[in-house]
Structure 1
Amino acid sequence: MPEATSAAPPPSAATSSEDRKLLEGLTHQQENRPELAEAAYQEILAANPNHGHALFMLGLLAHSGGRLDEALDYMARAVVAAPAFANAHLHRGEVLQSMGQLENALGCFDQALDLKPELLDASLRKSQVLQQLGRLDAALSSDQKALSLHPASPRIRLNIALTLRQMGRIRDALFQLDVTLAENPDFTEAYFQKGSLLYATGRLTEALATFDEGIAVDCNDARLYNGKASVLVLSERLDEALACYLQALDLAPDEAQTHSNLGGLYQRLGQGKQAVSYLRRAIALRPDHAEAHQNLAFALFNLNQNEDAFNEFDWRWRKDDQNQKMRAYEKPLWDGKTELTNQKLLLWPEQGPQDVTIWASSLPQIIARTKHCIVQTYPKLLPLYERSFPDAEIRADVPVYDKSQNDFDYHLPMGSLFKYTRPDLNPDQPAYLLPDPGRVAYWQQRLAATGPAPYVGISWKGAVINDNRSPNYTEVADWAPLIHKPATFVNLQCGESASELGAFEELHGVRVHDFEDLDLFDNLDDVAAFAAALDLAISVSTCVSALTAGVGTETWILAWKQSPWNNLLLQSRGPAVTHFERSTGEDWQACFDAMAVRLQALIDG
């Protein structure tokens, strides 16, 4: 919230009626009487419309009340009335930053620093905006300059740590946080940021200890309980996590992030309606909380409330940590309503090859509605898509910042396709991916040389392993009920976990055949052909399982029922897809037992 103390003259200067009225307004503002404060400032303006301090204070009031356009107008008038007033430039920049006008905000912070180089808040804000713009080297340089002026400021060193974190220099960031805490052991923000960084890098034990250290310093800091609870969630200590979140809520009942986190926890516990309630409360408290909107989308998808879910899913582009940004093409985004019969539509990918391949199941419908459809996709998918969707123009994707393309009338991200082509998210889907028939025959011969049918491809983990994803994945030991069946098992696992192949033979005495010349990560056209040669694929949700389902191979998918990603928007499509789900707190035993019975029936014919 904007500070109200930096603008008013000191009491000794309050000699004029304007000064006295300004101090009267400031007193009202500090004692949370905004209406009376505004009346005092407006009284000044009635006599002197160009009173810089009064305009500034009205701008602060409007900003704290969320009236950004009004705040910007007051601040713009304030800097004209008092061009040497550094704080007016600073707070004008803060309003522009709140409005997402980052370049303009940066200019304001620079003006403030030109007028008053020692203005700490301007230095901090400048660094934050540079971080938001991705100019991390410039942000770090700005922070280091500020530190030379304010060597004892923990806030600057904290800013340096946050910049280093964004740069991927985790060790250096932790060092800066440790120095900050050594010099300022009561600075709870540093405990929160250190715990959050340790949490994000999977060092859960250290993160938990750090949050506890912070709580020992200040047991009334709700953010520390929030952070601790998040660690407990990933540690599967859900009852303790719930108690921690509720403690945070007691301390700060109107903190939107706590409500959002509670929504995520209740989703994890399988209490979807409770999750939706907390997420909606988070959004009511902070309407621009993009993460809460996206989590609400997933919760609503799980409850089959698809129309509302799709609208909430559109918020994904506003998340601070969104790795892929909305394309800033000059041509408009398709609204799903405009007739495309005589129009050219560009579709571009978001997320990874797995999600894109799932959403590609609706390409035939959208292609049929357009005069010409251009599908941009990842290079590893190009040959497969060119063969599977011959009525579209398939292109390699271009960098997000490339705005030069203009040979289309409308564009749309792939993640929005189902919203306009399959709003009911009906999973019934014929095979839609067409593998190379020559390579299918080749892999059929290779499989025949390994042993008798049925040929069963298996994948037990995703290529990316972290604490958020691990509940979706299995361990080699979990496969015991299934792996002893009289079938020929072959590897569909890529990434570091492929090194666990030998454990199947060590633990279960069963060889899982691996074809070293099959690139499961990059040669997805060949993976599709290999998938079509299989009799069955059994996998957690991965790109490979999306391919096996898409080519029409019978596919069994192991899924954590309460996963935010386990919903019809993100589930593999194909004519023979079956899900075997475990709930939070359960192991995979029942899933593998059920699959073992079904596999035996398939073997028996």
Structure 2
Amino acid sequence: MWIRTSAIALAVALLAGCASSNSNDDFDTSLYAGKPVESLTSAEPPKSEEEALARGDMALANKDIDLALYEYLRSLTFSNAKHKDKTLYTVGKIHQTKPDLVLAERAFKASLQENPDNVGALEELGALYSRSGRTDEGMSYFIKAINADLIRLKLTPDLTQETISTERIAKLEYDSMSPDGAYNGLGVLYDVKGEHELAQSLFVDAIEINNNNLDAIINLGYSYYMSQDYAKAMVYTKAALNRDNDNEKALNNLALVYLSQGQVRQALNVFSRHLSPPEALNNVGYFLILQGKAEQAIPYLQQAIDKNPTYYEVANKNLERALSMVRQGASGSSITIQ
């Protein structure tokens, strides 16, 4: 009788051990990169998806990134897990902060396998591919993110690269939860293609969704600069600087607007707010070259060299370029930005 009872108890213990291992230890190691997992925690394994997620949230709040990642991945092992796509999206965002873009991409794609309409994962893949030069894929994912948001709003997801237009964008519906990053990212891609009016419509939507989207405000100002609407470019660029007066991108854009209006001294003052004197002088000369004003660029480049003759090799190269253009009577329109 004792032997039989002991055998049953041993079998139950083994089964319990197997169940614990299967639900909590067999997490997807292909989505983990960090400290050895055995060094992360000595606590009992979580008993549910909710407990694992709560542990992950607490670890993330304490800036223990590896532990947070481990706990989020353990939450995925429960057969009744209900939040897999959102958890995988969070895992992707964690990998972005490391940064480990390979694992971030893998996590976002895994999120889409769980839910093809996860707006956040679609938006992040659009940004990831756009930044890496895969612009066609980036555009595709941004549009998918907007369509997935339309589904969330119970509207028809009918936006495509073939049907997108300024008029179509103006009719899109959105709310404060809509993916302003997708609108902004798509705007950048169309701005690069020279479709400035369409890009501006997308930037406006991004700002209306989230009026704290500083990138969209800066990009809208730059788009107006690119389309030679300098008055609007000035308005939006200064609006960006009112929110962040040290933003280098906005400062550079403001200087470009001043140069385009012939206000060279103001442009130099703006560059000088975040650059050393020789760098600011070189920038003025360089952008004057790009605007076909090589002769006007020469004194600024000479001043840059005078302030730092041994170090400032870039100014020397730009001066040689400007002098060559003046001799040849070149317009400067074919100069390539480095």
2:60 counterpart of 1:123:
yes
| Structure 1 equivalent of residue 44 of structure 2 | none
Matched, 1:362 2:303: yes
- Mapped contact 2:56–2:70 kept (Cα < 8 A): no
Matching residue of 2:331:
580
Note the residue ranges of structure 2 that are not aligned, 5 or more in a row.
1-40, 42-53, 77-83, 151-173, 287-297
| Structure 2 counterpart of 1:175, from 87, 106, 113 | 106
1:255 positional shift: 3.4
Identify the match of residue 131 of structure 2 among 197, 200, 224.
Answer: 200
Cα drift, residue 197 of structure 1: 1.4
Q: What's the counterpart of residue 147 of structure 1? A: 72
In structure 2, what is the Cα distance between the partners aligned to 1:124 and 1:293?
34
Q: Relative contact order: is structure 1 or structure 2 higher (C-alpha 8 Å, sep ≥ 6)? A: 1
In 2, distance between residues paired with 1:288 and 1:581? 30
Task: State the alpha-carbon separation in 2 of the partners of residues 293 and 145 from structure 1.
Answer: 41
In structure 2, C-alpha distance between the alignment counterparts of 1:299 and 1:311, rounded to whole Å: 13
**Cα distance, 1:163 vs. partner?**
4.0
Cα drift, residue 269 of structure 1 = 0.6
Partners in 2 of 1:287 and 1:348 — Cα distance?
19
Match of 2:90 in 1: 156
1:304 partner SS: coil
CA deviation string 1:57-99 (max 9, x = no partner)? xxxxxxxxxxxxxxxxxxxxxxxxxxxxxxxxxxxxxxxxxxx
Q: Following the alignment from structure 2 to structure 1, what is the Cα–Cα distance between the partners of residues 279 and 254?
A: 24
Write the letter of the residue equivalent to 1:249: I
Q: Between Structure 1 and Structure 2, whose CA radius of gyration is higher?
A: 1
| Aligned-pair CA distance for 1:247 | 2.7
The one-letter amino acid paired with 1:215 is I
Q: For the structure 1 residues 173 and 309, does the alpha-carbon distance in structure 2 shift closer, same or farther, using more than 3 Å as the test? A: same
TM-fit CA distance, 1:314: 4.8
Secondary structure of 1:580's counterpart equals coil
Quote the residue 1:108 is aligned against.
none
1:549 corresponds to 2:300? no
Deviation at 1:309, TM superposition (A): 3.0
Compute the displacement of 1:264 (Å).
Answer: 1.0
- Give the whole-Å Cα distance in 1 for the aligned partners of 2:260 and 2:91: 43
Distance 1:259 1:348, change over 3 A: closer
Distance 1:288 1:375, change over 3 A: same
2:170 aligned partner: none
Conserved? CA contact 1:294–1:315, under 8 Å: no
Q: For residue 193 of structure 1, report the CA deviation from its aligned partner.
A: 1.6
Contact between 2:57 and 2:68, CA under 8 Å: does it hold in 1? no
Which residue does 1:217 correspond to in 2?
148
Per-residue displacement from partner, 1:19-76 (whole Å, max 9, x unpaired)? xxxxxxxxxxxxxxxxxxxxxxxxxxxxxxxxxxxxxxxxxxxxxxxxxxxxxxxxxx
Instruction: Please point out which of 265, 269, 282 is paired with 2:240.
Output: 282
Compute the displacement of 1:154 (Å).
3.5
Separation (CA, whole Å) in 2 of partners of 1:210 and 1:202: 14
Q: Could you tell me how far apart the structure 2 residues matched to 1:185 and 1:302 are?
A: 46
How far apart, in 2, do the equivalents of 1:269 and 1:189 lie? 31
CA shift, 1:298, in A, is 2.3
Shift of 1:272: 1.7
Identity within the alignment, %: 18
Per-residue deviation, 1:576: 3.4
Aligned partner of 2:120 in structure 1 is: 189
Give the CA deviation at 1:265: 0.6
Shift of the 299–146 alpha-carbon distance from structure 1 to 2, 3 Å rule, reads farther
Per the alignment, do residues 366 and 284 of structure 1 end up closer, same or farther by CA in structure 2, a change over 3 Å counting? closer
CA distance in 2, matches of 1:266, 1:360: 28
- Deviations, residues 496-551 of structure 1 (Å, cap 9, x unaligned): xxxxxxxxxxxxxxxxxxxxxxxxxxxxxxxxxxxxxxxxxxxxxxx5xx36437x
Aligned pair count?
Answer: 235
Give yes or no for contact 1:123–1:146 (8 Å, CA) kept in 2.
Answer: no
Q: Which residue identity lines up with residue 200 of structure 2 in the other structure?
A: L
CA shift digits 1:282-316 (9 cap, x unpaired):
22244454422332222223223344434443565
| Contact 2:301–2:319 (8 Å) recurs in 1 | no
In the TM superposition, what is the alpha-carbon distance from 1:210 to its structure 2 partner? 0.6
**Residue 159 of structure 2 corresponds to which residue in structure 1?**
none
TM-score, scaled to structure 2: 0.55
State which of 226, 229, 251 in structure 2 corresponds to 1:268: 226
- AA in 2 matched with 1:147: Y
Q: Which has the higher helix share?
A: 2
| Partners of 1:304 and 1:365 in 2: CA distance | 24
Q: Does 1:291 align with 2:288?
A: no
| Distance in 1, Cα, partners of 2:62 & 2:273 | 25
Q: Please give the secondary structure, in 2, of the residue aligned with 1:202.
A: coil
More strand, by proportion: 1
For residues 295 and 281 of structure 1, the distance between their equivalents in structure 2, rounded to whole angstroms, comes to 12
Contact 2:142 2:185 in 1 (8 A): yes
**Alignment map for 1:151-550 (pairs within 5 Å):** 151=76, 152=84, 153-163=87-97, 166=99, 169=101, 171-219=102-150, 220=174, 221=178, 222-253=180-211, 255-287=213-245, 289-314=247-272, 361-362=302-303, 365-366=306-307, 375-376=310-311, 546=318, 548-549=320-321
The question of whether the paired residues in 2 share the 8 Å contact of 1:348 and 1:375 is answered with no
Match of 2:133, SS state, is coil
- Report the Cα distance in structure 1 between the residues aligned to 2:114 and 2:305, rounded to whole angstroms: 62
C-alpha displacement of 1:177: 1.7
**Aligned pair in 2 of structure 1 residues 243, 264: CA closer, same or farther (>3 Å)?**
same
Unaligned residue ranges in structure 1 (runs of 5+): 1-112, 128-138, 318-333, 337-346, 368-373, 382-413, 416-432, 434-542, 557-574, 583-587, 592-605
Give the Cα separation in 2 of the matches to 1:155 and 1:124: 17
Q: Which moved more, 1:236-245 or 1:188-197?
A: 236-245
Confirm or deny: 8 A CA contact 1:290 1:316 kept in the other structure. Answer: yes
- CA–CA separation in structure 1 for the residues paired with 2:211 and 2:304: 46
